[in-house]
Amino acid sequence: MSSASSLGALPVPLLENDPSVTWPDCSKTTVPGVWEPDILGEGYTYTTLPLGEDYEGELCATLVHYQPPSRRPAHVRETRRSPLPDVLHRLFSPVRAGAPHPGGRESMRSRGSVGFVLALHGWSDYFYNTELAKYWTDHGYSFYALDFRRYGRSLRAHHLNPGFTSDLGEYDADLEAALAMIRSLEAPDTPGVCVAHSTGGLVASLWVNRFPKAFNALILNSPWLEMQGSYMVRYAAQGVVEPLAWLRPRAKLHLPESDGYWRSLSALAHGSWDLHPLWRPPCSFPVTAGWIAAVLAGHREVAHGLDIKIPVLVLTSKSTRLGTTYDEAMLHHDSVLEVRVVRERSLGLGAEVTNAVIDGSMHDVFSSLPRPRALAYAAIDRWGIGYLPGRRGRRRADRR
């Protein structure tokens, strides 16, 4: 594993059994609909979703799929062919990649899933949580995860500003491409659930508010719905950032850096997860004026009130512990957002919003220690009986 300065990575220690030493800096670009083996190992594949080009070059999103090996028919090849590539080629003129491989599409549909799940990551992040994928497939769902443009598997060496956007609406194209690919692989009437974390939770909330038929349910994992403190902090930040974002959207803001949250996640420190050192760097990606202005605009829209038509579950830690240096308490509290503010703002998302407080969880409740992770999944189990496709009425059936 080499360090790519264009991706803004910082050196991190390597352990003898650290799997990241074999991971590439950048994922190989595929023909859309051709699925390549993923760094997460057996059962995980990914395909590139081309989004054309910008001033830096190739722009894409990446869809990850998990299919438990025990459920994969012996005749299905590792790569699978969807009919969607021809459509995407016409729409986005993607870069050339290797030849597509046929086969496998009908076998994916024959699994008879009760629904599909699409997971969205947060800021300076990507999909890595294999336990989350297993939870959903164990409950009969097809599991997918999306790495947005300029994040994770969608990062390329020519991207000088990882995670950059000046408009959260830019991710509409990423989500549309992901859902089109999923719909081409699942049965046409398969219900969908979106599970979104942090900034991804903000993007997902705005998306389902505009497109109420995209999913059947929304699960938000510590969504970033407001600035730390209150709306007053947001007003103050807007006055400083927005003029700069208008003139120089890619200008980097000189903010305090901290690796405390990374230390609570990474197996190289105090956490449990093998993290890619470029895709989930210790001190996050550099913050640009355009990006923070886009987030503030999203917060302002949420503050005015959304009208999400589908049921929403919001999972947050019980309490917050902010700090510029790591301490052990970060393993048991949200060290990124003020959870009280998140819960208050979540009540304006729609008519059916449920808040579940997960005692002892971190910012990413599904990456926390084992006990709070179990509490989070149990909360989904209870909520899902009433709201999730394929889970309604299960408790009644279990009692017979």
List average pLDDT for each run of 10 residues in the chain, which is 400 residues long.
40 65 94 94 97 92 94 43 48 38 40 88 97 97 98 96 96 97 92 98 98 96 85 56 79 85 93 95 93 94 96 97 85 94 96 97 97 98 92 49
Which residues, 6+ apart, have CB-to-CB distance to 218 below 8 Å?
193, 194, 196, 204, 205, 208, 308, 310, 311, 312, 313
Kindly list the distances between the CA atom of residue 6 and the CA atoms of 118, 282, 286, 364, 373, in Å, as whole numbers in the listed order: 29, 16, 11, 27, 35
Rg (alpha carbons) of the chain, rounded to whole number: 20
What is the pLDDT, as a whole number, of residue 32?
A: 83
> What is this structure's pTM?
0.86
SS3 content of the chain, % helix, strand, coil (to 5): 35, 15, 50
Q: What single-letter DSSP state applies at residue 59? A: E
What is the pLDDT, as a whole number, of residue 69?
A: 85
What is the pLDDT, as a whole number, of residue 190?
A: 94
Query: Phi and psi dihedrals of 143, rounded to 5?
Result: -110, 130
Token look-up 């459920």 returns 71
How do the domains of the chain map onto residue ranges?
5-399
What is the pLDDT, as a whole number, of residue 391?
A: 73
What is the pLDDT, as a whole number, of residue 240?
A: 65
Assign domain 5-399 to its CATH architecture: 3-Layer(aba) Sandwich (3.40)
Cα separation, 314 vs 310, whole angstroms: 13
**Residues 163 and 156: beta-carbon distance below 8 Å:** no
Helices (H), the chain: 84-92, 105-109, 130-138, 171-185, 199-210, 231-247, 260-265, 289-303, 339-346, 370-387, 394-399
What is the pLDDT, as a whole number, of residue 361?
A: 97
Token look-up 């970060």 returns 330
Tell me the three state secondary structure of residue 220: strand
**Residues 353 and 223: beta-carbon distance below 8 Å:** no
Cα separation, 108 vs 165, whole angstroms: 34
What is the pLDDT, as a whole number, of residue 244?
A: 73
**Residues 245 and 292: beta-carbon distance below 8 Å:** yes
